[in-house]
Amino acid sequence: MEVHGLSSRFQAGPFANFRSRAHFSTAPFFCSILSLPPSLSLSLLLSSPSSFLSFSLCLFLSIFLPPFLPSLLHFCHLSFCFFSSLSLSLSLSLSLSKPNIVLIIADDLGIGDLGCYGNDTLRTPHVDRLAREGVQLTQHISAASMCTPSRSALLTGRYPIRSGMVSDRISRVILSLGVPAGLPLNETTLAALLKQQGYRTAIIGKWHHGLNCHSRSDHCHHPYNYGFDYFYGMPFTLTAPCWPDPSRQTELAIESKIWLCVQLLAVAALTLALGKLSGWISVPWSLILSVVLFIWLLGYFWFSSHRSALYWDCLLMREHSITEQPMKAERAGSIMLKEALSFLERHREGPFLLLFSFLHVHMPLPTADAFLGVSKHGLYGDNVEEMDTMLGKLLDAIDDLGLRNTTLVYFTSDHGGHLESRRGHAQLGGWNGIYKGGKGMGGWEGGIRVPGLMRWPGRLPAGKVIEEPTSLMDIFPTLAAVSGATVPQDRIIDGRNLLPLLQGDVQRSEHEFLFHYCGVFLHAVRQAVWKVHYVTPVFQPPGAQACYETSYCRCSGELVTYHNPPLVFDLSRDPSESTPLTRDTEPLYDVVIQTAADALARHRRSLAPVPLQLSELNQDSVWLKPCCGVFPFCLCDKEGD
Ligand SMILES: [Ca+2]
């Protein structure tokens, strides 16, 4: 049901949420308060601080100025009305215009993996519930087909090429925690925007926007420098080494013992050296130097044989402290959920922003034992269903805290499923439904079309499906609109406020064009139902529908095809982009190509040169890698079991 207008907000549902602000309901009664029984009058007065103050003033004057009692009673009456109305309007404007915001982003989740987007074998009842209770966007497009740039666009409302969160090389994401690259600090994130509006802000889960610049603990790219008040999660991203198979547990145990040996030897060497210097012990210096050399060799052995991401990148932090290095990936999700529920509880009075950034469903798919084997789609399906269960607990907590109708919930994925993620010939990545391609492909729909669900009961219609092109970049200006913030005026914001479209005030997307990038290389332009491809990846081996020989498709060079004239598709008739149009099959063929070319030329003129964070700055340095302990023995587990 679609609901508009202030009065509708007082219907049973939304109103039920205001129980923690009792003076809302008492305010209309104040003007007749003098006719109420004394006990009830008192309880009503006490429910509003401003009314209580005015009442106290009246009482004081009545006692000390009895001759003026009749006029004072009148004054009291008026003051109750005034303060109560003021209290009501202030509280209304604060709570209604500033909903709590819960943004939930899945990692590498394919649009075809969800029941509400057509999957009938994976069970995702809680995602589907969001679709039933909110608005479902069927043409929700990410600004990039890889993690880091897509998330930058979500955070800033801008194409990643404007912030420099792009690459002209093969790698297109932050490569490790040892690189100085990161989201430039002059970018304004949605967290910073909401924080200025009085929101408490948290990100729980994956960050993947850099960490250090000059030393292993300067944390120049920590979420705290981008408007977030609280952080728990992975500063990096899951990678294959993060969830070692059981045989690695033995290896981990050996490393711990080596570290213990080194510490004991160091104590021995120090004791010998001090004893020798003080004359208590008579040992040759050569023995002491031999022990020191042995320690150095052990350290070098440990360091050089374990440069794996498991130690250096698979770690968890709470605020600025490393809590697990290496992390126990299969339990990270449950701790994240606990952290999120705790944040909601702490800040239930709102307004708050919670960005819950799932580690699910990225490889290597660490899954709790309870979910192993529950789905019909192997480990990937198990991981999706675990994610959905976690989402359900998050939504239940919002309900239980009475925040359902004052909280805007958004769910999406950072890009399409990873088709090349396989074990042997078994598919381990997501499914992008009828759409061609997947993660890493800048132009094909499968890489960039993602789920988009938004629920805000009483303000957004339930069960509405919108088939207009929208973007993850739209979240930034949309949140600005709902929180009363103004988007930065000194830069181009590419996103558009979605509220008019979501609420049904307009029927058409404000996006006349969308530009689909692969790194710094523009691959395609979207224009209404048309899609114009200038560059497409070469699938390998021949006949395949993805880039299996290179794990990810390339953006430029010999492994792409440059199209002149470009390929043109009509997504409304051919959503799978299977049959390019020609001059013979489409009367508007030339017009579409020319209009897209003109739009692209205008877009390119709007770009300013910036350092490419994911190119030259994406160089690994061991000195920037965070360490929980004494370098290079960076091991710790502060969560315990
Ligand atoms: Ca991702």
At 40 the pLDDT is 35
**Ligand 1 centroid distance, CA of 145 (Å):** 8
Å from CA of 380 to ligand 1 middle: 14
Distance CA 462, CA 465 (A): 9
| Residue that the structure tokens 């709902």 belong to | 482
Whole-Å CA distances, 91 to 80, 358, 403, 622: 16, 34, 16, 52
> CB within 8 A of 641, min separation 6: which ones?
none
The CA distance from 628 to 638, in Å, is 10
Cα-Cα end-to-end distance for the chain: 47
147 is catalytic: yes
Q: What is the pLDDT of residues 242-297, one digit of tens each?
A: 987 655 566 666 677 777 888 888 888 888 888 888 888 888 888 888 888 888 88
Three-state secondary-structure class, residue 516: strand
| Own/partner pairs, 631-635, CB within 8 angstroms, 24+ separation | 631/216, 632/299, 632/302, 632/303, 633/259, 633/262, 633/299, 633/302, 634/311, 634/312, 634/325, 635/255, 635/256, 635/259, 635/311, 635/325, 635/326
* pLDDT, tens only, 492-508: 999 999 999 999 999 99
Q: Summarize pLDDT for 26-50 with one digit per residue, the tens.
A: 333 333 333 333 333 443 344 344 4
- Give tens-digit pLDDT for 68-91: 555 555 555 555 444 444 444 444
Residue 19: per-residue pLDDT:
27
Task: Tell how far CA 97 is from the center of its chain.
Answer: 23
Rounded to 5 degrees, φ, ψ at 20 are: -75, -10
Q: Which helix (H) or strand (E) holds 381?
A: helix 378-400
The pLDDT of residue 303 is 63
Q: Please give the distance, rounded to the nearest whole angstrom, from the Cα atom of residue 284 to the centre of ligand 1.
A: 58
> Residue 25 — pLDDT band, cuts 50, 70, 90?
very low
Q: Identify the pLDDT of residue 60.
A: 52
Q: What HEC string does 441-458 produce?
A: CCCCHHHHEEEEEEECCC
Q: Are strands 200-205 and 426-427 parallel, antiparallel or unpaired?
A: unpaired
Say if CB 263 and CB 244 are below 8 A apart.
no
Q: Report the separation in Å between the CA atom of 107 and the middle of ligand 1, taken as the mean of its atom positions.
A: 4
Q: Which comes out higher in pLDDT, residue 287 or 61?
A: 287
Q: From the CA of 147, how far away is ligand 1's center (Å)?
A: 4
Distance from the alpha carbon of residue 150 to the mean position of ligand 1, in angstroms: 8
Pair 316, 211: CB distance under 8 Å: no
Q: How far is the CA of 577 from the centre of ligand 1 (A)?
A: 23
d(CA 415, ligand 1 centre) in Å: 6
Q: Which one of the listed residues 76, 116, 147, 627 is annotated catalytic?
A: 147
Percent of the chain surpassing pLDDT 70: 82
Distance CA 611, CA 605 (A): 17
Percent of the chain with pLDDT over 90: 70
- Token pair recorded at residue 253: 């145990």
Of 220-224, 261-265, 361-365, which gets the smallest average pLDDT?
261-265
Q: How confident is the model at residue 427 (pLDDT cuts 50, 70, 90)?
A: confident
Compute how many other C-beta atoms are within 10 angstroms of the C-beta atom of residue 291: 17
Tell me the CA–centroid distance for residue 108 and ligand 1, in Å. Answer: 4
pLDDT value at residue 87: 45
Both tokens assigned to 420: 């090349």
pLDDT grade for 523, boundaries at 50, 70 and 90: very high
**pLDDT at position 264, please?**
85
Cα-to-centroid distance, 490 and ligand 1 (Å): 30
325 C-alpha vs ligand 1 centroid, how far in Å?
Answer: 22
Average pLDDT over all residues of the chain = 86
pLDDT band at 9 (very low <50, low <70, confident <90, very high): very low
Pairing of strands 426-427, 352-357: unpaired
Do the Cβ atoms of 314 and 367 come closer than 8 Å?
no
Q: What is the tens place of the pLDDT at every residue in 319-349?
A: 999 999 989 999 999 999 999 999 999 999 9
| Closest CA relative to residue 78, chosen from 47, 34, 38 | 34
CA distance linking residue 376 with residue 378, whole number of Å: 6
Are 447 and 438 a contacting pair, CB within 8 Å? yes
Phi, psi of 204, deg, nearest 5: -125, 120
Pairing of strands 464-471, 449-455: unpaired
Who contacts 338 (Cβ-Cβ below 8 Å, separation ≥6)? none
The catalytically annotated residue of 126, 208, 221, 362 is 208
Residue 241: pLDDT band (50, 70, 90) is confident
Cα 125 to ligand 1 centroid, rounded to whole Å: 22
Find tokens 């890889």 and name the residue.
Answer: 146
Task: Find the 448 Cα to ligand 1 centroid distance in Å.
Answer: 11
What CA–CA distance (Å, rounded) separates 309 from 177? 9
Beta bridge mates, 355: 103, 203
Residue 89 is predicted with a pLDDT of 44
> Helix, strand, coil: what percent of the chain each, to 5?
45, 15, 40
pLDDT digits (tens, 9 = 90+) for 434-476: 999 999 999 999 999 999 999 999 999 999 999 999 999 999 9
Residue 599 is predicted with a pLDDT of 98
Distance from the CA of 364 to the center of ligand 1, in angstroms?
Answer: 12
pLDDT the model gives residue 295: 80
Rounded to an integer, the average pLDDT of 175-183 is 96
Tell me, in angstroms, the distance from the centre of ligand 1 to residue 249's CA: 27
